[in-house]
Amino acid sequence: MASLLSPIKDVHSERRLFIARVILSSVVSVLLLGFVIVRLVQLQVVDHELFAEKSQGNRVRIEPVPPIRGLVFDRNGRVIAENLPAYQLELIPEQVGDIDDTLSRLSGLGLIEEEEIPRFKELSRSGPRFKPVTLKFRLTDEEIANFAIQRPRFPGVDFRPRLVRHYPNGSAVAHAVGYVGALSTDDLERLDPAAYAGTSHTGKTGVENAFEADLHGDAGYRHLITNARGRQIPSNTSELLDTLPDDLTPEPGDNVYLSLDLDLQLVATQAFEGRRGALVALNPNTGEILALVSAPSFDPNLFAVGMSTSQYRELSENPDRPLFNRAVRGAYPPGSTIKPMLALAALETGATNLTRKSFCRGFFQLPGDDHRYRDWKPEGHGPVDISDAISQSCDVYFYEISVDIGIDAMHDYLSRFGLGMQTGIDTGGEHEGLVPSREWKRRSFRDRDDKRWYHGETVIASIGQGYMLATPLQLANAIAAVGTRGKRFKPYIVAAVEDPLTSSRHLTQPQPLPDVEISSDFYWDNVINAMNDVLQGERGTARAVGYGAPYRMAGKSGTAQVITVAQDEEYDELELEERQRDHALFVSFAPLDDPQIAVALIVENGESGSNVAAPIARTVMDAWLGYDDAP
């Protein structure tokens, strides 16, 4: 009964518990408030200078300023490569939250190609994250307007005014000058990141690549005031900027002057009239390249403004190979164009002399061999001496003397003219060609029988067939040495490099190469006069081309087979597919007594060096010597 009378609540106990909790909460609150006050004092007073500096650093962004790329001029000061203003779309990786999503949305707007997204992602990962990645190099007015509306949705992406490389003459100079293209991941690995900060392009081929160090210049930087989103804001006060180091002004790249003559380049380009082939014209007395053509060509401006993968694939998979520089890298059988050099070798070695005559009946046979090595003229040339053999291009005469010369002596003398080796042109990237020898064959083949050199291989090498290969540049350099009677110079295309700030120029000096030493001037006279007869003699193979010329010239035609035909068979050129027809070659120099220009060219599948290639050489020589209206 007493238990029923005990109180339900212990008021005093609950009051003590409540008071204890209030005291504990108050103490915790005071402690927390004290901690906050102490932290605020530390941030606002003790570490004020540190965080003030960091705050200012968040407001200031250092932006690289790319240098202005140097200009390229021809020998007369006409612009070949320049820089034009354009707006390009750029992405700064460190300011973009989700690069995949950003690129996908830009593709949806039609500003970039979907197939280009993987490349842009790789570029954004491979370089410094503060460095802009160019997504499109030249925006149209419509694209600028469309993106301006959408810009708030794309933090870290903006369009900026830049200078874009431009080639006024387009495809006419593409292989001679080269082109610039967007920096690739490979470029970023081999180039100095500091020097190329802010730069989107680099030279890829030709002069643009070989003289990249001169043309590029040195990058600078500037300080920008930005908001919390990292965008530049106008600064009406200079107090903050006054506390910063001075901006570094970029130094422009050097200007480059070429030895090319733009008028001659255009004449040579137009002379091909849609054919495939290449031409090199140079000054025999210095080695200056006057014209360099590879046809067909391409528009280098496509690389400068950026092209899609599909556009590049269309160029690279074109069966006519417009991206291939035939003038420097194209290796072709030289055909009969080597006969003047081989004639000099025969005279020097005693394999023939100035009076020896052979009877050409249209074919040649080695002793004990029934195989017939045919002449281009089935009925034969009759009795011919060395001059006739050159002017009429008698194959049988050279078949006969080749046996006496031997392949190793042929290799020795042709190499003295620079065949079978790189010329050392300042743009680089050339094919070395091939002049075969016994030693070369031993090194190049595995099977024992293949290592042996056969007399028949010497015979066909005497007319520039078989294993023999040469580039148009090598042939131009070799025939120039004939015109100068053995004086040789290293070919070059850059005549001077100019500092744009001081206008001082560093001129390229002609670099002599070892002379071709021939024991008698009579040998030179005979061969050069025979080459004159090719164009201006009564029975020369290209007399129709040289007829009526106001100056004396020398030349040699050549034809190189593309397919092999059995000795007892003949083929009709009209029945062959166009790409299976013979190549047409021609080498020449003029004037005869004081050469000012040497020309070598090939017309792929042109069939006849005299009828197809020689007229192009005559057109180029007329233009250079000032006889453009000559018949």
Domain ranges of the chain: 11-46, 62-253, 263-625
Residue 242: pLDDT band (50, 70, 90) is low
pLDDT score at 566:
47
Residue 195: pLDDT band (50, 70, 90) is confident
Residue 112 CB contacts under 8 Å (≥ 6 apart), including other chains? 89, 103, 106, 120, 135, 136
Q: What are phi and psi of 628, to 5 degrees?
A: -60, -30
Are 590 and 550 a contacting pair, CB within 8 Å? no
pLDDT score at 166:
94
Confidence check: pLDDT of 592 > 70 = yes
Let me know if 336 is a catalytic residue: yes
pLDDT score at 163:
87
165: enclosing H helix or E strand: strand 157-166
240 or 276, greater pLDDT: 276
40 or 487, greater pLDDT: 487
Residue 226 CB contacts under 8 Å (≥ 6 apart), including other chains? 58, 59, 60, 61, 232, 233
Section 404-428 average pLDDT: 96
Confidence check: pLDDT of 572 > 60 = no
Section 506-531 average pLDDT: 96
Confidence check: pLDDT of 225 > 80 = no
395 or 607, greater pLDDT: 395
Topology of domain 263-625 in CATH is: Beta-lactamase (3.40.710)
338 or 15, greater pLDDT: 338
pLDDT score at 319:
92
Mean pLDDT of the chain, nearest integer:
87
Confidence check: pLDDT of 426 > 60 = yes
% pLDDT > 70, the chain: 88
Section 500-523 average pLDDT: 95
Nearest CA to 322 out of 280, 281, 282, 274 is that of 274
pLDDT score at 232:
54
Q: Whose structure tokens read 């620079």?
A: 418
Distance CA 209, CA 328 (A): 15
By three-state DSSP, how is residue 201 classified?
Answer: strand
Section 43-68 average pLDDT: 68
Confidence check: pLDDT of 411 > 90 = yes
Least confident residue range of 221-230, 283-292, 348-357, 405-414: 221-230
Highest mean pLDDT (candidates 173-187, 238-252, 264-278, 297-311):
264-278
146: enclosing H helix or E strand: helix 141-150
Give the pair of three-digit tokens for residue 110: 């039609």
pLDDT score at 464:
94
Q: According to the 3-state scheme, what is the secondary structure of 439-502?
A: HHHHHHCCCHHHHCCCHHHHHHHCCCCCCCEECHHHHHHHHHHHHCCCCEECCECEEEEECCCC
544: enclosing H helix or E strand: helix 543-546
Residue 631: pLDDT band (50, 70, 90) is very low
Residue 518: pLDDT band (50, 70, 90) is very high
Least confident residue range of 182-186, 527-531, 612-616: 182-186
Distance CA 425, CA 427 (A): 6
**Which of these is catalytic: 124, 171, 336, 358?**
336
- Which residue type sits at 275? R
Residue 565: pLDDT band (50, 70, 90) is very low
pLDDT score at 152:
82
Distance CA 77, CA 306 (A): 28
Are 613 and 601 a contacting pair, CB within 8 Å? yes
Cis bond before residue 615 (omega within 30° of 0) = no
Burial of 486 (0-12, 13-18, 19+ CB in 10 A): middle
pLDDT score at 49:
66
- Kindly report the pTM of this predicted structure: 0.82
Residue 255: pLDDT band (50, 70, 90) is very high
Topology of domain 62-253 in CATH is: Penicillin-binding protein 2a (Domain 2) (3.90.1310)
Nearest CA to 614 out of 286, 393, 298 is that of 393
Confidence check: pLDDT of 236 > 60 = no
Q: Where are the alpha helices (DSSP H) in 60-127?
A: 99-108, 117-126
Q: Which residues of 86-102 are buried (b: 16+ CB within 10 A; e: fewer)?
A: bbbbbbbbebbeebeeb
Q: Where are the alpha helices (DSSP H) in 191-230?
A: 206-210, 212-216
Section 501-522 average pLDDT: 95
Confidence check: pLDDT of 297 > 90 = yes
Distance CA 263, CA 182 (A): 30
Residue 245 CB contacts under 8 Å (≥ 6 apart), including other chains? 223
